[in-house]
Amino acid sequence: MDYEPMPEDWTRALAVVAHPDDLEYGGAAAVARWTASGKDVRYLLVTRGEAGIDTLPPAECGPLREAEQRAAAAAVGVEVVEFLDHPDGLITYGVPLRRDIAAAIRRHRPELVVTGNFRETWPGDVGMNMADHMATGRAVVDAVRDAANRWLFTDAGEPWSGVRWVAVAASPRNSHAVDVGAHFDRGVASLAAHRAYLDALGGDMADPEGFLRPMAEADGARLPGATLATAFELITV
Query: Alpha-carbon distance 175 to 180, whole Å?
Result: 16
Is pLDDT of 16 > 90? yes
CB under 8 Å to 203, separation ≥6 — which residues?
A: none
Is pLDDT of 114 > 90? yes
Query: Alpha-carbon distance 12 to 18, whole Å?
Result: 20
**Residue scoring higher pLDDT (81 or 124):** 81
Section 15-40 average pLDDT: 97
Is pLDDT of 122 > 90? yes
Section 31-42 average pLDDT: 98
Structural domains of the chain, ranges and CATH numbers in brackets: 4-236 (3.40.50.10320)
Is pLDDT of 124 > 90? no
How many angstroms separate the first and last alpha carbons of the chain?
Answer: 23
* 3-state secondary structure at position 224: coil
pLDDT of residue 125: 81
Residue 205 burial class via C-beta count within 10 angstroms: exposed 0-12, middle 13-18, buried 19 and up: middle
The per-residue pLDDT of the chain, averaged, comes to 97
pLDDT tens for each residue of 127-175: 999 999 999 999 999 999 999 999 999 999 999 999 999 999 999 999 9
* 3-state secondary structure at position 116: strand
Query: What percent of the chain is predicted at pLDDT more than 70?
Result: 100
Query: Alpha-carbon distance 139 to 47, whole Å?
Result: 14
pLDDT tens for each residue of 192-215: 999 999 999 989 999 999 999 999
Ranges 34-38, 116-120, 125-129, 163-167: which has the least confidence: 125-129
pLDDT tens for each residue of 59-108: 999 999 999 999 999 999 999 999 999 999 999 999 999 999 999 999 99
pLDDT of residue 202: 87
Query: Alpha-carbon distance 59 to 34, whole Å?
Result: 34
Is pLDDT of 126 > 90? no
